[in-house]
Structures are given as C-alpha cells and as structure tokens.
Amino acid sequence: MEMNKAPEGKWLKKNAWKYGFILRYPEDKTAITGIQYEPWHYRYIGMPHSAIMQEHHFVLEQYLDYLRKERVISVRVDGKKYEVSYYPVSKKMTIKVPTNRQYDISGNNRDGIIVTVYP
C-alpha cells in the first residue's frame, strides 16, 4: 500500500508536526522545493519550528525565508513560549544567547544561524 494511502501514512501526515517532524516534499509545494512529492520523506526540525511551519503551511524553504525576513519570532506552543532568532553569517558576528535558559544554535545550510530559546 502506498504511504499516502495507508492509515499510518495518513496519521503521520496529520500528526508528525506535533513531534517536531515535517513532510519535507509535499505534493502542493513542488514548485517551491523543486522536488517531486515524496510522501515517505520526513525530516526532524524540532519544536517550535514544526508548529510554526504547520500553522503557516510552509515548507522548509519558505520557513527559512520567513525567518530571514522577520529576524525574531516569538511563538506559543502548548502554552510554552519559544523565541526563534535568525542571524546572517558574517566575519564579525555576535550571537546573543541567554544565560538562564536552554537554547539551540543551528546553521540553516544557506546563509545564517538560527537560535531557538526554549521555555
């Protein structure tokens, strides 16, 4: 049975974002991703990123563009407040991180750094 028709595949498509996963190449975004629909291709990006992408119906390319434009995003997921910041890569860059909260720093594989501050 095809992934997108199997009960498990349907459940995954509906719920994966709740666990930090995204469908990497959805059927309706091939013009943006440049990749054909792959119903089996999930990628872990973590919370709150998957929730933001779900809410805005973004694929990863759109989400990275959104972060680059907005620079700082505050979002609540399940009552918890997250802060996501984008920093363009430069030779003399400074990244501000909290001293009293957990955070992740990740490159965006393009041109910047994403800092996620957790509740």
Give me the residues paired with residue 21 across strands.
44
CA neighbours closer than 13 Å in the CB half-sphere of residue 3? 12
Tell me, yes or no, if 38 is annotated catalytic. Answer: yes
Choosing from 2, 8, 27, 38, the catalytic residue is 38
Which residues make beta-bridge pairs with 114? 86, 106
Q: Which residues are catalytic?
A: 38
